[in-house]
Chain A
Amino acid sequence: MHGIPHNVREVEEMIHVNWRPLCMAWLSAPLLALCLTGCGDDSDDETVIGGGGGGGGSQAGRCSHFDAQRQPFFGDLHVHTVYSLDANTQGTLTTPHQAYQFALGEELGVQPFLEDGTATRSTQLERPLDFAAVTDHAELFGEVEICTNPDYLEYNTLECLFYRSDPENSFIIFNLVSVGLPELPQFPVPEGIPLVSDLPVIGSNGTIPRLPFCGLNGATCLEAAKTPWNDTQAAAEAYYDRSSDCSFTTFVGYEYTGAPLSNNLHRNVIFKTEVVPELPPAYQEYPREELLWATLSEKCKTEDGCEYLTIPHNSNLSAGMMFETTDRFGNPYDAEFAATRQANEPLAEIYQHKGQSECLGTMGAGANDELCGFELLPYNNLTGDRFNGLNTGPPMEQDFLREAMKKGLAMEKDLGVNPFKYGFIGSSDTHLGTPGNVEESDFPGHAGAGENPADGIEGLTDVIEASPGGLAVLWAEENTRESLFDAMRRREAYATSGNRPVVRFFGGWDLPANACGRNDFVELGYANGVPMGGDLPLQPNVGAAPVFAVSALRDPGGAGIAAEPLQRIQIIKGWVDANGDQQEAVFEVAGDPNNGASVDLNSCATSGDGFASLCAVWQDPGFDPDQHAFYYARVVDNPSCRWSTYQCLAAGVDCDAPETVPEAMADCCNADYPKTIQERAWTSPIWYRPAEPVAEENS
């Protein structure tokens, strides 16, 4: 029965705001029926394409490794390849196919190739990933070409007619269609077109099309030419293991690259199945997130077998825009808009190549939390240090998730719905087509966004403030698209800064104090509580305070992998107090922050004791049942060398003799950046919401 309470709560929220399309588009299979009933819609068809829907965890799945208690799968949902022209102009020629091969652990040959066809360089992942999604910038796919080239079948669709009549203003017209007139079909469905099947279609002339399906209705299936979007889909299909081994999962995805004035509103769009829109809605046509959600909900419908979610990233670089509390017209959020946001965006990237977005460590509440100084970028948008800081400013507290989620609690108090209810993942955001390549000791740079130092001079492989990025971990029954996607939806996910600890986090009212010593820790967690990402049930009796159980295993490391033991676990609480003020506190719950672990900066050798595992059961001492709150765990490793320190050491930089340090290595001696880091994991929060006050006018 685990997982049900908080989902029911969400269903109630949705019904409460009475926004039917949301119901239709947004619930996982087992809840669809509930929702349909709640929405009073026809419930004659709950067909779920793509095999069962999973989610409930009660019945066995299709994989031989199925585990009803769920297992952690490590992956990367933010990967750029040759189709991101910003990566490509810096020499990245990795295709989506090759990116998936790399994620599987195969050696990736890097251009240029010698006469005999062998690559001059190669790179390989020490530890393959369980899942990955190639997410190139849709804005550079050029798919709008389909509207301008009469050879394409879609040339005569309504959308294309609009586009050609007034390309400059087409997004306004599109918006009118998708927002103002939601019933108008965007792509008329031709008669007799079969729906998508799992296996590739054989063309009329006996050839296998590159893309074995095409778009929602398969209309252009047999014509599928090699375009970036088609190739992205074909690669995801080719490398998704549909056998009972379930060894690797891919997702079709892309990046929606909206950045007005370089203020980052980027989102990765991840699709649950192979059924995806014919054209990926891009920023040119849909220049705000609500327009993106509106068009996706039109073009990617659950009843067609299409489901999606959007994952914002680098809120730290949005100059205050990512978590604005108004819509694009400046109107404050209402319950419906808040529900739309929550339904579309269950996850956010808390860490990646361009720093962390957890908390600002230089001002505001986060200044009291010394671990907020971790990988903090010193500016507030994508312009960065270019143009002498002309178009940028210092980082802003409201761009960080902890602050935004507290704001979300305050809004939930007013509106009844929390718009900023995010679970956490980490990503690489690689622009080399190398998912999961996040080891500090071997950071090849990023390409694309990272600027390399002056041409031809040996130097750091990236700007000093950047970092290799992190990983996404999903707790799922099995390694399939359905199971992983459902984990993302219920936020049973955590982020890591690149290391691979295993972290469980449960919250409930009667988790036993001795849970850590029990072999049934996990069963107890699900039976007596909710996992990370969930909502605490209502307070069972007056005076009860919630209990949280968190347990972690260190990264086991391995040959060629530097991994440190654990140092400590913290629980971070955010809440809104009786005066309506937003508060936060950090609690040390396990381990030892002063364990004396240290790093020899002359060799990067580490010393000092740590913990192979840590576990704690913690009860909130300051719990007030009338106050909205969230709780998440931060699991911190012993310190180790930062990527730049490895490189400075290898280059023999001596900061005591500044005249000997080459200019391209000058940042080795930049005191603004630490020499060591503490790798860490951030669990998705568990939320508490007070009981609804008894309605005053009960009609």
Chain B
Amino acid sequence: MKRLLREPLLHFLLIGALALLLQATGFDLLRNFLTPPRIEISQADRERLAARWLNETGRHPTSAELQAMLRQYIDEELMFREALRLGLHEHDVVVHQRLILNMRFAEQTPQADAGELLQAALHLGMLHSDPVVRRRLIQRMRHQIENQVEVSENDARQYFQRHRTSFQTPERYSFEQRFFSADQPGALNRALAARQTLTTDDKAVGGDVFLLGNHFEHLSLADIRRRLGDDIAQSIAAATPGEWLGPVSSAYGQHLLRVQAVSDGDMPDYSQLQARVAAQLYTERERAALGEWLQSRRQLYRINIAPAQTGDAA
């Protein structure tokens, strides 16, 4: 019996059984207590992130910006590591294709068996080094977390009520114009003269041809700005309906304007906006769920950030 207890094989089996039990019962906390997974942020990581910022913006990051980048990097690392732990790569077609493609490129063996190439790529640790694989797994982990979020009909209606004003649509203007082209001589003088005539007889003034026509229906100020420029839009916004105003100049010439109708912005009802409301509420809740998840994972990992060295952030 004593002999049996001292048998290394038995020890091996017992340890194995214990390990299996731990794994099977999912004692993450215990596992993490015994061997906490680590995330190390080195000085090189800092420098890489700072260099990337410089590259994108043309200036050095502030200390707050660098901190934000470090936090984002850690968040992504947490998602990547958890995705690997959960085996999300095992059934992922994008990951497989990418690894096989890498091996084909590296070994120049287009005919090799895909399964063998995949094993070879995994053996080489490509799972950890390929940027596309990394992005894909982060994305999948993120979707797995976000997929737990639900939005009920009731929640969406309440959300709509709370944010009603943000769904208000802008005022819309219908107006007519007489146009005097800057490509013809004396546009301003012709417009000023026409303005006098218009007040007595608005049929008597033709003006020049304008490709977009002389009647504009149901446009928002943003639409007017895009079609006719800022000054016209501002004049329309300030106009008294029914009265001619101008001349107002644009990139095209001089315009005499008369607003015919202004329709108030509309408050669409919920049924028209359900898809957008639900999408916004989903986004909000997904962000919250991701935040909570990241918070809980930060407890499980031992995160070491190398202290900033001098001259780190300008």
Segment at the interface with A among B53-61, B192-200, B303-311: B53-61
Query: CA separation between A415 and B82, bound complex, in Å?
Result: 59
**Complex contacts, B92 vs chain A, CB 8 Å:** 142, 145
**Complex contacts, A89 vs chain B, CB 8 Å:** 131-132, 134-135
Nearest chain-B residue to A82 (Cβ)?
A: B139
**Complex contacts, B154 vs chain A, CB 8 Å:** 206
- A456 at interface (Cβ–Cβ under 8 A)? yes
Q: With A208-B153, A458-B54 in contact, is A234–B279 under 8 Å at CB?
A: yes
User: Is the CB–CB distance between A65 and B219 below 8 Å?
Assistant: yes
- A20 at interface (Cβ–Cβ under 8 A)? no
Interface string of A579-623 (1 = CB under 8 A from B): 000000000000000000000000000000001110100000000
User: Is the CB–CB distance between B251 and A140 below 8 Å?
Assistant: no
* Count of chain B residues near A, Cβ 8 A: 77
Q: With A114-B64, A199-B271 in contact, is A85–B93 under 8 Å at CB?
A: no
From A208, A452, A558, contact of B156 by CB (8 A): A208
User: Is the CB–CB distance between A202 and B153 below 8 Å?
Assistant: yes
- Shortest Cβ gap from A3 to chain B (Å): 19
- B229 at interface (Cβ–Cβ under 8 A)? yes
User: Is the CB–CB distance between B212 and A168 below 8 Å?
Assistant: no
**Complex contacts, A167 vs chain B, CB 8 Å:** 114
From A88, A228, A502, contact of B212 by CB (8 A): A502
Nearest chain-A residue to B229 (Cβ)?
A: A556
Query: CA separation between A459 and B54, bound complex, in Å?
Result: 10
- A554 at interface (Cβ–Cβ under 8 A)? yes
- B14 at interface (Cβ–Cβ under 8 A)? no
**Complex contacts, A120 vs chain B, CB 8 Å:** 64-65, 68
User: Is the CB–CB distance between B135 and A88 below 8 Å?
Assistant: yes
Segment at the interface with A among B20-28, B29-37, B220-228, B293-301: B220-228
**Complex contacts, A187 vs chain B, CB 8 Å:** none
* Count of chain A residues near B, Cβ 8 A: 88
- B107 at interface (Cβ–Cβ under 8 A)? no
- Shortest Cβ gap from B234 to chain A (Å): 10
Q: With A455-B51, A502-B211, A504-B211 in contact, is A558–B282 under 8 Å at CB?
A: no
Query: CA separation between A611 and B183, bound complex, in Å?
Result: 6
Query: CA separation between A456 and B228, bound complex, in Å?
Result: 43
From B147, B169, B212, B219, contact of A243 by CB (8 A): B169
Query: CA separation between A167 and B100, bound complex, in Å?
Result: 13
Q: With A200-B274, A556-B229 in contact, is A64–B91 under 8 Å at CB?
A: no
**Complex contacts, A113 vs chain B, CB 8 Å:** 68, 72
User: Is the CB–CB distance between B183 and A612 below 8 Å?
Assistant: yes
Nearest chain-B residue to A479 (Cβ)?
A: B223
Chain A to chain B: the 5 pairs with minimum beta-carbon distance, closest first: A456-B51, A238-B279, A112-B68, A142-B94, A112-B72
Residues of A within 8 A of B (CB): 64-65, 67, 69, 71, 74, 82-83, 85-86, 88-89, 91, 97, 105, 111-115, 120-121, 127-128, 140-142, 144-145, 148-149, 167-168, 199-200, 202, 206-208, 210, 212, 225-228, 234-235, 237-239, 242-243, 245, 247, 284, 444-445, 452-453, 455-459, 500, 502, 504, 516-519, 521-522, 551-559, 563, 565, 611-613, 615
Residues of B within 8 A of A (CB): 48, 50-52, 54-58, 64-65, 67-69, 71-72, 91-94, 97, 114, 131-132, 134-136, 139-140, 143, 146-147, 150-154, 156, 169, 172, 181-183, 206, 209-214, 217-220, 222, 225-230, 250-253, 266, 268, 271-272, 274-276, 278-280, 282-283
